[in-house]
Amino acid sequence: MSNLASILESRLGRRRLGWLRLLSEAGRDRAAGIYLVGGVVRDLLLKRPILELDISVSGLDEALALHLADALGGRLTARSQFNTFKIAVGSTVIDLAMTRGESYAHPGALPDVWPGSIEQDLARRDFSVNAMAIDLSVDAWGELLDPMSGQRDLERRLIRVLHPDSFADDATRIFRAVRYAQRLEFRLEEGTADLLKASLGGLDTISGDRLRHEFQRVFAEPHPGSVLSRLADLGVLEAVFPPLGRRSGPWPDENGPSDEAEELVWLSTLACGLNAGEAAQFAQRLNMGSAWAAVVRDTVEIEGILNDVGSPGILRSSVYHLLHQYHPGALVGVVTTHSEGLARDSIELYLRELRQVRPELNGRDLIGLGAEEGPEIGRLLETVLEARLDGIVTSRAGEESLVRRLIS
C-alpha cells in the first residue's frame, strides 16, 4: 500500500492541509473513518490542480457533521437526504459525504443508498481512477486505498468502469466517461468502450433535467468541442436526440473571441443543423428553461437567414435589423460553427460593433427639436439609429440636423 502523506503536504498548501489535520483529529474523537475521495485523489496523483476537497466519513450524520464543522471553525451550509453536507470555511466549501453503498432498482433509477464501508463506497463509483481514497485518520494518515486498481489505470491512462452493469445502472456515466477521457487525454479501456456503445439505449431512461445537467458539465469542460466531437463519434448525441446524429463535424475547438456566456454558445453549437420542429423537441427532451430554449430556437432561425445576412453589399443597418432580435450566444455559436463566408463577416461585424451603436439623441432631445410626442418619436429614433449604423451621421450635431430635416 502506498502512503501519499508527502503528496498531501506538497500539493495541498498549508491552509487545506491544516483543515484535513483538524478533521482527522475530530474524526478520531468520534471514532469515525475519514477519507479524501474521488476526483481529488485522482488529480493529486496526476499533479493536476485541486479545486475541491471531497471527504467521505463513515457513519456521517448531522451531529457528526456539526462536530466536524465546529472543529474547522466553519459553518454547515447544506445537507441532503443522502447525508451529504457542505461546510463553509471562510470562502471555501468542503463537501462531506457519508460512506455508503448503493444499488439500482432498475436502469435509470436514482440509487437506493445505505450506510456502508469505505470499500463499498469506492465500489459504487463510476471509474477506477475515481475510485481511490486517501485515509485521513490519525493512525493511517496518507494511506492510499485503491481496491479497484485506479492507480494502475492512471499510469495506463485508461478510463475503466468497475463492473459490466455500470452504464446500465446509470447512463449518465456515458457522458462522464467521455468528459474524463477528453479532459485527461485518456483512452476508454476497450471493454469499457464496448459496454458504453452497447448501453446507449439506456440514455432513454435519463430524465431531461439530468441530461441537461450532463450537457452543462460538458460545456464547462476546458475543451467542450473535443468532448462534443467524441460524444458524436460514439453515437451518444444521436442516442440522446436522433436529429443530433445528422451533424457532421468539425466541432469548433474553441469559441471565437466572445464574452457571451460560454455555456450558451456551446449549446448553440450543438443545436446547429436542427430544424425548427426539432429545436422545439430538443428543448423539450432536455426540459430546458427559457434561456436555453431561446438560444436553441434562435440558432435555428439564424441559420435560416444566413443567405440574407451574407448578401453582397448588405447595408450595416440591414445587418442590424436582421440580427438584433437574437441572443448573442446563438450568434457566436452559429459563427463558430459556420466558419466561412460573407454571413460570418456580417455576424462578426454585428457582434463587434453594430450591437453597441445607439443614437446620441434621446426622446426628450427629439421633443426639444420640435418632434411630436407619441409614436413619431420611436420612428425618428429608429431612422437616426439607421443613419448612425450606415455612417450617414457620425455626431450629435449630425443627428440633430437629420431630425430637423425629417420633421420640417
Q: Residue 299 CB, nearest distance to ligand ATP (Å)?
A: 27
How big is the chain, counted in residues? 408
Residues 258-277 close enough to bind ligand ATP by CB under 6 A: none
Q: Residue 144 CB, nearest distance to ligand ATP (Å)?
A: 15
**How many residues of this chain interact with ligand ATP, rule: CB under 6 A?**
9
Nearest one of 179, 254, 185, 260 to 218, comparing CA atoms: 179
Q: Residue 363 CB, nearest distance to ligand ATP (Å)?
A: 51
Choose the stretch contacting ligand ATP; rule: CB under 6 A; options: 125-133, 152-160, 230-238, 330-338: 125-133
Q: Of residues 39, 142, 235, 256, which one binds ligand ATP by CB under 6 A?
A: 39
**354: which residues sit within 8 A by CB, 6+ positions away?**
316, 319, 320, 323, 389
Nearer to ligand ATP, 38 or 310 (CB): 38
Nearest one of 180, 131, 188 to 158, comparing CA atoms: 188
Alpha carbon distances (Å) from 179 to 175, 251, 407: 6, 15, 61
Residues 206-265 close enough to bind ligand ATP by CB under 6 A: none
What is the distance, to the nearest Å, from the Cα of residue 177 to the centroid of all Cα atoms in its chain?
15
Q: Of residues 12, 26, 32, 38, which one binds ligand ATP by CB under 6 A?
A: 38
Q: Residue 221 CB, nearest distance to ligand ATP (Å)?
A: 8
Nearer to ligand ATP, 24 or 172 (CB): 172
Per CB under 6 A, 126 contacts ligand ATP: yes
Distance, CA of 160 to CA of 187 (rounded, Å)? 9
Cell of 244: 443530433
Sign of dihedral through CA atoms 39, 117, 8, 29?
Answer: positive
Per CB under 6 A, 153 contacts ligand ATP: no
316-323 helix and 375-389 helix, angle to the nearest 10 degrees:
120
Please give the angle made by the CA atoms of 182, 230 and 292, to the nearest 5 degrees.
Answer: 95
Task: Work out the burial of residue 80: count CB atoms within 10 Å of its CB; fewer than 13 is exposed, 13-18 middle, 19 or more buried.
Answer: exposed
Q: Of residues 58, 84, 128, 130, which one binds ligand ATP by CB under 6 A?
A: 130
Q: Residue 38 CB, nearest distance to ligand ATP (Å)?
A: 3
Nearer to ligand ATP, 53 or 319 (CB): 53
Per CB under 6 A, 83 contacts ligand ATP: no
Q: Of residues 125, 210, 327, 344, which one binds ligand ATP by CB under 6 A?
A: 125
Site pattern 156..175 for ligand ATP (x: CB under 6 A): --------------x-xx--
Contact 228, 270 (CB under 8 A): yes
Q: Residue 125 CB, nearest distance to ligand ATP (Å)?
A: 4
Nearer to ligand ATP, 130 or 299 (CB): 130
Contact 256, 332 (CB under 8 A): yes
Site pattern 303..342 for ligand ATP (x: CB under 6 A): ----------------------------------------
Sign of dihedral through CA atoms 284, 249, 301, 350?
Answer: positive
Report the amino acid identity of residue 34: I
Distance, CA of 156 to CA of 298 (rounded, Å)? 44
Q: Residue 39 CB, nearest distance to ligand ATP (Å)?
A: 2
Q: Which residues of this chain interact with ligand ATP, rule CB under 6 A?
A: 38-39, 54, 125-126, 130, 170, 172-173
